[in-house]
Amino acid sequence: MPATYVMDLAGREIVAPVLGKGPSGNLGRWIGHMLKGRFTHEDITKAAPVPHEAAIGTAAQMFPARGQGIMGLRDRDVRVPAFALATHVA
């Protein structure tokens, strides 16, 4: 559990400013919609926002299940896997 906190802290304070991209609330949004009975989305980024989705997403993490594909490359934004790699290295 301490490693997760260090990773989240490094992501927010070190990696996000360097890459210009922080962790998204997409996973939290997806989980929030599951609690309402909806389990799939064509594009989670276009789904209605869910209260506290960033906090929910911080508690759980999965790229393919959020609709971002292998290594989060569905949108062809290399900052997504770079963010994940950098925070895991930290």
Determine the Cα angle at 38 with ends 36 and 42, to 5°: 140
Place of tokens 């900052």: 79
Whether 48 shows a pLDDT value over 90: the answer reads: yes
d(Cα 1, Cα 20) in Å, to the nearest integer? Answer: 26
Whether 49 shows a pLDDT value over 80: the answer reads: yes
d(Cα 10, Cα 85) in Å, to the nearest integer? Answer: 11
d(Cα 69, Cα 79) in Å, to the nearest integer? Answer: 14
pTM of the model: 0.48
Identify the band that residue 60 occupies on the pLDDT scale cut at 50, 70 and 90.
Answer: low
d(Cα 83, Cα 90) in Å, to the nearest integer? Answer: 11
Whether 29 shows a pLDDT value over 80: the answer reads: yes
At residue 72, the 3 state secondary structure works out as: helix
